[in-house]
């Protein structure tokens, strides 16, 4: 969330310094991987520009985190990096930054306004992607999560 606030500040400073708001007709954002999440975290801080938002493009951004990643080698690497580097970002992406999921950074990000302000939203992902889980990049609840929380669904 902190990176989103910093991005919003940069965008505002750029607009104030180089582009009078009256000259801006459309604003679009493109983010790859973590960049897509940082943009989403910035959007609530840019609400004053919402009428000008045109296109949001997310390239392989893990919008729902890595909690249900199907790649075991990646899971092992993530666990090792979290232990070795004590990275807050990796802890947030694995949704282990809080005890309750509803309090995690990624969950709170899903409750914030922003994507609905765009005329176009494009989520680019691939089933072959070995890093960002396919369902997470599509902002779709995966089958494993549904059955885990509703055993009758299996």
146 part of a folded domain: no
CA–CA separation, 105 vs 147, rounded Å?
A: 23
What is the average pLDDT across 130-136?
A: 77
Domain of 105, in residue numbers: 2-141
154 part of a folded domain: no
Is the predicted pLDDT of residue 78 greater than 70, yes or no?
A: no
111 part of a folded domain: yes
Q: Are 93 and 106 in contact (CB under 8 A)?
A: yes
Q: Give the N- to C-terminal CA distance of the chain in Å, as an integer.
A: 35
pLDDT of residue 79: 59
Is the predicted pLDDT of residue 65 greater than 70, yes or no?
A: yes
pLDDT of residue 11: 96
What is the average pLDDT across 144-148?
A: 70
**Max Cα separation, the chain?**
56
- pLDDT, the chain, mean: 83
Rg of the chain (C-alpha set): 17
- Structure pTM? 0.81
Structural domains of the chain, count: 1
150 part of a folded domain: no
148 part of a folded domain: no
What is the average pLDDT across 33-47?
A: 96
């Amino acid at each position: 969330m902190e990176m989103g606030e910093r991005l919003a500040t940069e965008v505002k400073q750029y607009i104030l310094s180089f582009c009078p708001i009256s000259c801006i007709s459309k604003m679009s954002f493109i983010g790859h991987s973590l960049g897509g999440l940082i943009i989403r975290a910035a959007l609530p801080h840019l609400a004053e520009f919402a009428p000008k938002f045109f296109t949001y493009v997310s390239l392989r951004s893990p919008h729902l985190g890595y909690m249900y990643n199907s790649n075991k080698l990646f899971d092992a690497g993530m666990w090792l990096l979290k232990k070795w580097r004590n990275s807050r970002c990796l802890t947030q992406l694995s949704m282990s930054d809080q005890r309750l999921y509803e309090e995690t950074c990624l969950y709170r990000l899903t409750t914030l306004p922003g994507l609905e302000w765009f005329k176009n939203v494009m989520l680019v992902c691939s089933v072959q992607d070995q890093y960002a889980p396919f369902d997470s990049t599509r902002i779709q609840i995966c089958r494993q999560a549904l059955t885990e929380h509703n055993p009758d669904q299996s």
